[in-house]
Every structure is written in C-alpha cells, then in structure tokens.
Amino acid sequence: MLPIAGGQGRGGTLVSGGYAARMDTVGRFWSSVRRLLP
C-alpha cells in the first residue's frame, strides 16, 4: 500500500512496475501450485 500511494511521485513507474511484475510471478507460481494440488 505505502509504495503504491507514495510511488505516484518520483520513481512511481519503477515501484508500480516492480509490483506488477512481482504479482505476475506470484500468480504464475500459484497457478502451478494449484495444478499440482488434488
């Protein structure tokens, strides 16, 4: 929350971009995990 709220100033693109990339990685990870679970 804090990085996003404070990221609208300088470095906002880097913060939001890094957050989006991390969420994408987490999403892929959980997708593969759910596939392995019964």
**pLDDT of amino acid 26:** 86
* Structure confidence at residue 10 (pLDDT): 54
Asked whether the predicted pLDDT for residue 14 surpasses 80, the reply is no
Compute the distance between CA of residue 9 and CA of residue 12 in angstroms, rounded to an integer: 6
3-class state of residue 37 by DSSP: coil
| pLDDT at residue number 7 | 46
Q: What is the per-residue DSSP string for 3-21?
A: HHHHTTSTTHHHHHHHHHH
Say whether pLDDT at 17 is over 80.
no
